[in-house]
Amino acid sequence: MKRYCRVCGQSRAIGRFKHSFSVCLECDALPLSQQLEMEIIHRIRALPLLLSEEQVQWLEKMKNDLRHGVRAAALARSETESHSPGMRS
Ligand SMILES: [Zn+2]
């Protein structure tokens, strides 16, 4: 049986998780700020092709995030966006 780590987004054997079962041991060892950054980046990468209004707004906010990794992931995601039909500026 495997579970998804919400920080790194990888599925790992259940023995690789602590009691919370949502963060793997590797990520659990990271500083909390880094865990949060990775979690947001993973969330950006996991966004569906078609975004809801709410997701678009959230992504816009992430483009101005103070964390470089988050900004880069959000910008990379919007590039994909501009290639889809009807989204050209
Ligand atoms: Zn992890």
36 and 53 in a single domain? The answer is yes
Distance of CA 27 from the midpoint of ligand 1 (Å): 4
Distance of CA 39 from the midpoint of ligand 1 (Å): 9
Please give the model's pTM, rounded to 2 decimal places: 0.78
> Residue 18 has what pLDDT?
81
Distance of CA 89 from the midpoint of ligand 1 (Å): 37
21 and 35 in a single domain? The answer is no
- How many residues are there in the chain? 89
CB 71 within 8 A of CB 64: yes
Q: What is the pLDDT of residues 12-65, one digit of tens each?
A: 998 899 866 789 999 999 999 999 999 999 999 999 999 999 999 999 999 999
Helix (H) or strand (E) segment spanning residue 49? none
Is residue 89 over pLDDT 60?
Answer: no
Of 44, 49, 42, 48, give the one whose Cα is nearest residue 27.
42
Can you say how many angstroms the Cα of residue 8 is from the centroid of all Cα atoms in its chain? 8
Q: How many domains does the chain have?
A: 2
Domain range for 14: 1-30
43 and 11 in a single domain? The answer is no
> Residue 83 has what pLDDT?
57
82 and 46 in a single domain? The answer is yes
Distance of CA 65 from the midpoint of ligand 1 (Å): 22
Q: What is the pLDDT of residues 64-74, one digit of tens each?
A: 999 999 999 99
22 and 61 in a single domain? The answer is no
